[in-house]
A and B are shown apart, each in its own frame.
Chain A
């Protein structure tokens, strides 16, 4: 049976995070999830809007809420940055009457409480979906050691995003285990990647990427697994490889695609900055001995 969601792709879906978008849709199709893109959505404002104007940082995602609220469907958001911005706006609309009135005027809409905003991770981790995943699993990722990288936006502020433990989250590790891979325990899973400071201060971003990757290597990981278009690019592009090997960063949906043996997956690897193919050979060898 198909499950339907309203869907907010976010800007990186058609650019830096193209392999996330392609793998997400392939996996959703395979598991019977229908993602109905909301009409004429706009950018959530990213980190930049909030940096120059708190009001703009709330108004931009509020317009997307206006587009999605009248449907009966939950809103699925794959990018943690977009998810965070939308949850922040929803929180302001629900709990701050003054801000709500201001946003309603700015965005030209009437807020109706009750829209269920979900991160794509939550949807895949629902018991029914995990069951479907288990049944459709063709190529368990045995032997692959994965460092799940949560970053900031997916888990903080915990009172707003409601994703559980923000210091030591393990929900992505559960997904890794469901795919038959091994989730490593490591200390840098919620450390910030440097976000858009990477574009103006590349050296700082390199320092940050290097210590996050070093933490993953120390824990014995073969790769990182992320879900944010900015984190994934920062981690792959900014790590220097000096004094340590380079690790690829997969989107979680790419690893799902491999485990589901989706034929389209070979289109995704060329979009990475760190070539992930040598890491995938671990699987071809049938795991570690």
Chain B
């Protein structure tokens, strides 16, 4: 049996990180604030990439639980920027159409966030949050937080579009292609 290294090669090339230098000291996993909630721990993910476990890695909850806090990377004795690997894995999961497999709500939240910027140039919290609730139907869990913030009188109800909105639209067309990158609605 031969090991399929194509996945590992692709991840290494895209993230610019060398997986082979990991000796599993577990510093990344020990320091990660979310690792106790992850199905695959950060160091396991590195190992599974090397073993060519493409589908298990790209369908994992863990890649969406990573909040890019960068604790793992700055503590890695071999200077592997694990958050850059996580960025790469999330992009690959979206491209493969796996993004909704494990953590649909997280992906929908991020998609609504970037959609809000695309529309207005800036984040408009109220419409972003309503958009997220409408898509995820996660209303019971989300509404109290939204109302708590709304009650403080800090959130403007109506969005304002920046002057360069057309330029932002072109920026999105070049940097974030909807086709093939945004996961299809299931």
Please report A residues at the B interface, Cβ cutoff 8 Å.
Answer: 11, 14-16, 18-19, 40-43, 45-57, 59-60, 63, 105-108, 152, 156-158, 166, 190-192, 194-202, 204, 208, 233, 237, 270-273
CA distance A190 to B71 in the complex (A): 9
The answer to whether A200 and B138 touch across the interface, beta carbons within 8 angstroms, is yes
Query: What are 6 pairs between A and B in contact, CB < 8 Å?
Result: A18-B154, A40-B164, A55-B176, A196-B113, A201-B65, A202-B141
For residues 94 through 148 of chain B, which have their beta carbon under 8 Å from a beta carbon of chain A?
94, 103, 105-107, 109-111, 113-114, 116-117, 121-123, 125, 129, 132, 136, 138, 141-142, 145, 148
- B73 adjacent to chain A (CB < 8 Å): yes
Report which of B68, B123, B148, B168 forms a contact with A237, defined as CB distance below 8 A.
B148
The answer to whether A158 and B156 touch across the interface, beta carbons within 8 angstroms, is no
The answer to whether A237 and B145 touch across the interface, beta carbons within 8 angstroms, is yes
Report which of B110, B152, B162 forms a contact with A40, defined as CB distance below 8 A.
B162
Please report B residues at the A interface, Cβ cutoff 8 Å.
Answer: 33-34, 37, 64-65, 67-71, 73-74, 81, 87-88, 90-91, 94, 103, 105-107, 109-111, 113-114, 116-117, 121-123, 125, 129, 132, 136, 138, 141-142, 145, 148-149, 152-156, 162-164, 167-168, 170-172, 174-176, 181-182
Which secondary structure dominates where chain A touches chain B? Answer: helix
The answer to whether A43 and B121 touch across the interface, beta carbons within 8 angstroms, is yes
CA distance A288 to B64 in the complex (A): 46
Q: Tell me which residues across on chain A come within 8 A of B103, comparing CB atoms.
A: 200
**Contacts A40-B163, A46-B113: A54 and B69 contacting too (C-beta < 8 A)?**
no
Q: Tell me which residues across on chain B come within 8 A of A200, comparing CB atoms.
A: 103, 105-106, 109, 136, 138
Who on chain B is nearest to A156 by CB? B70
Q: Tell me which residues across on chain A come within 8 A of B117, comparing CB atoms.
A: 42-43, 45, 49, 60
**Closest chain A CB from B18 CB (angstroms):** 17
The answer to whether B162 and A199 touch across the interface, beta carbons within 8 angstroms, is no
Report which of B69, B114, B132 forms a contact with A199, defined as CB distance below 8 A.
B132
The answer to whether A45 and B114 touch across the interface, beta carbons within 8 angstroms, is yes
